Structure 1
Amino acid sequence: MDKLVYLAEALTPFNLVLALGGVLAGIVIGALPGLSATMAVAVLVPFTFTMDPASGLIVLGAIYTGAIYGGSYSAILVNTPGTPSAIATTFDGFPMARRGDGALAVTVATLASVSGGIVGALMLMFLAPPLARVALAFGPPEYFWLAVFGLTLISALSVGNLMKGLIGACLGLLMSMIGVAVIGADVRFTMGSHALLGGINIVSGLIGLYCIPVLIDLVATRDPHLKVASDTSGYRLKEAFAIVMREKFNLVRSSVIGTLVGILPGAGGSVASLVSYSEARRSARHPERYGTGEPGGIIATEAANNGTVGGGFIPTLVLGIPGTPPDAVILGALLVQGIRIGPTLFTTQGSIVYTFIFGLLIGTILMLPVGLLVGRYAYKGIIAIPKAALVPTIAFMTVIGSFAIHNNLNDVVVMLGLGVIGWILNRVGFTPSPIVLGLVLGQIAEQGFVQSYLIGNAQGNVAGMFFARPISLAIVAFSVLTLFYPLIVGAIGARRARKSEVDIIAEGRDGRH
Structure 2
Amino acid sequence: MELFDHLAMGFGVAFTMQNLLYCFIGCFLGTLIGVLPGLGPVTTIAMLLPATYALPPVSALIMLAGIYYGAQYGGSTTSILVNLPGEAASVVTVIDGYQMARKGRAGPALAAAGIGSFIAGCFGTLVLAGFAGPLTEVAFKFGPAEYFSLMVLGLIGAVVLASGSLLKAISMILLGLLLGLVGTDVNSGVARYSFDIPEMTDGIDFIVIAMGVFGYGEIIKNLSTPSAERAVFTAKVEHLYPSKEDWKLMTPAILRGTLLGASLGILPGGGALLSSFASYTIEKKTKLRPGEVPFGQGNIRGVAAPESANNAGSQTSFIPLLTLGIPPNAVMALMVGAMTIHNIQPGPQVMTSNPELFWGLIASMWLGNAMLIVLNLPLIGIWIKLLSVPYRWLFPAIVLFCAMGVYSTNNNSFDIWLVALFGIIGYIFVKLGCEPAPLLLGLILGPMMEENLRRALLLSRGDWSVLVTRPLSATLLGLAVALLVIVLLPAVKKSREEAFVDED
Which residue does 1:102 correspond to in 2? 106
- Residue 428 of structure 2 corresponds to residue 424 of structure 1: yes
Q: CA offsets, 1:39-73, max 9 Å, x none? A: 22222233333333222222111111101221111
Change (3 A) 1:288 1:487: farther
Matches within 5 A, 1:138-217: 138-217=142-221
Residue equivalent to 1:294: 299
- Distance in 1 separating the partners of 2:361 and 2:197: 46
Paired position in structure 1 for 2:76: 72
RMSD of aligned residue pairs (Cα, Å): 2.5
Q: Distance in 2 between matches of 1:93 and 1:155?
A: 20
Partner of 2:464: 462
Would you say 1:260 and 2:260 are equivalent positions?
Answer: no
Deviation at 1:493, TM superposition (A): 9.1
Measured after TM superposition, the shift of residue 486 of structure 1 is 4.0
User: Are the aligned partners of 1:87 and 1:270 in contact in 2 as well (CA < 8 Å)?
Assistant: no
Q: Deviations over 1:314-337 (max 9, x none)?
A: 121112221222112122222322
Q: Which residue type is aligned with residue 32 of structure 1?
A: L
**Structure-2 residue corresponding to 1:370:** 375
Give the conservation status (yes or no) of the 8 Å contact 1:33–1:83: no
Moved more, 225-234 or 84-93: 225-234
- Asked if the contact 1:218–1:391 (Cα under 8 Å) also holds between the matched residues in 2, the reply is no
Q: Does 1:6 align with 2:19?
A: no
* Residue 211 of structure 1, CA deviation: 0.9
Structure 2 contact 105–237 (Cα < 8 Å) conserved? no
CA distance in 1, matches of 2:307, 2:376: 13
Please state how far the C-alpha of 1:25 moved relative to its aligned partner: 0.9
Distance in structure 1 (CA, Å) of the matches to 2:368 and 2:303: 21
Paired with 1:236 and 1:411, the residues of 2 have a C-alpha distance of 40
1:273-322 CA distance string (max 9 Å, x none): 12222233234447993333222222221112112222221121112221
Question: Are 1:331 and 2:333 counterparts?
Answer: no
Q: Aligned pair 1:275/2:278, yes or no?
A: yes
Q: 1:141: how far off?
A: 1.5
Between stretches 140-149 and 5-14, larger displacement belongs to 5-14
Contact 1:266 1:323 in 2 (8 A): yes
Aligned to 2:344, the other structure's residue is in SS state coil
d(CA) in 2 for partners of 1:108, 1:402: 29
| Contact map agreement 2:6 2:359 (CA 8 A) in 1 | no
Q: Structure 1 residues 323, 348: CA separation in 2 closer, same or farther (over 3 Å shift)?
A: same
Runs of at least 5 residues in structure 2 that lack an aligned partner in the other structure: 496-504
SS state at 1:61 partner:
helix
Give, in whole Å, the separation in 1 of the partners of 2:216 and 2:477: 36
Q: Which moved more, 1:39-48 or 1:363-372?
A: 39-48
The answer to whether the Cα contact below 8 Å between 2:107 and 2:237 also exists between their aligned partners in 1 is no
SS where residue 88 of structure 1 aligns? Answer: helix
Q: Which runs of structure 2 are paired with 1:314-353 in the superposition (5 Å)?
A: 314-353=319-358
Q: What does residue 115 of structure 1 align with?
A: 119
What is the SS of the residue equivalent to 1:114?
Answer: helix
SS at match of 2:460: helix
Letter in 2 for 1:243: L
- Which moves more between the two structures, 160-169 or 390-399? 160-169
- 1:408 aligned residue: 412
AA aligned to 2:317 is G
Q: Does the 8 Å CA contact 2:162/2:169 hold for their aligned counterparts? A: yes
Q: 1:95 to 1:341 in 2, by over 3 A?
A: same
Q: Bigger CA drift: 393-402 or 343-352?
A: 343-352
2 CA distance for matches of 1:76 and 1:114?
A: 17
Would the aligned equivalents of 1:279 and 1:482 in 2 still touch at CA under 8 Å? Answer: no
Are residues 476 and 292 of structure 1, via their aligned partners in 2, closer, same or farther at CA, if it must alter by over 3 Å?
Answer: farther
Q: For the residues of structure 2 that align with 1:356 and 1:366, how far apart are their CA atoms?
A: 15
Q: How does 1:302-317 map to 2 (within 5 A)?
A: 302-317=307-322
Among candidates 229, 232, 239, match of residue 226 of structure 1: 232
Deviates most, 19-28 or 474-483: 474-483
Q: Contact 1:262–1:269 (CA<8 Å) still a contact in 2? A: yes
Structure 1 residue 258: Cα displacement: 2.3
TM-score (norm 1): 0.88
Question: Tell me, what secondary structure is at the counterpart of 1:26?
Answer: helix
SS in 1 for 2:95: helix
**Deviation digits for residues 328-363 of structure 1 (CA, Å, limit 9, x no counterpart):** 212222232233433243233222221211111110
1:467 offset after TM fit, Å? Answer: 0.7
Q: Single out whichever of 152-161 and 188-197 deviates more from structure 2.
A: 152-161
283-292 or 398-407, which deviates more: 283-292
Structure-2 change in CA distance of 1:125 and 1:18 (3 Å) = same
Structure 1 partner of 2:242? 236
8 Å contact kept, 1:140–1:449: yes
Aligned counterparts of 2:154 and 2:40: Cα–Cα separation in 1: 22
CA distance in 2, matches of 1:489, 1:68: 38
Deviations 1:9-34 (A, max 9, x none): 32233332322221111011122233
The alignment's TM-score, normalised by the length of structure 2, stands at 0.89
| In 2: Cα distance, 1:492 partner to 1:216 partner | 32
1:428, CA displacement in angstroms? 2.3
**In terms of Rg, which structure is larger?**
1
- The letter of the residue matching 1:282 is K
Whole-Å Cα distance in 1 between the matches of residues 315 and 349 of structure 2? 19
Cα distance in 1, alignment partners of residues 233 and 391 from structure 2: 13
For the structure 1 residues 107 and 328, does the alpha-carbon distance in structure 2 shift closer, same or farther, using more than 3 Å as the test? Answer: same
| Seq. identity, % | 31
Instruction: Identify the residue that residue 389 of structure 1 maps to in structure 2.
Output: 393
CA-CA distance at 1:232 after TM superposition = 4.5
- Unmatched segments (≥5 aa) in structure 1: 495-513
Pair 1:355-2:357 in alignment: no
What is the CA–CA distance in structure 1 between the aligned matches of 2:231 and 2:50, rounded to whole Å?
40
Number of aligned positions between the proteins: 487
Q: Secondary structure at the match of 1:191?
A: coil
Give the Å deviation of 1:206.
0.4
* 1:216 shift after superposition: 0.8
Which of 143-152 and 181-190 deviates more? 181-190
Measured after TM superposition, the shift of residue 406 of structure 1 is 0.2
Q: Are the equivalent residues in 2 in contact too, given 1:233–1:376 (CA < 8 A)?
A: no
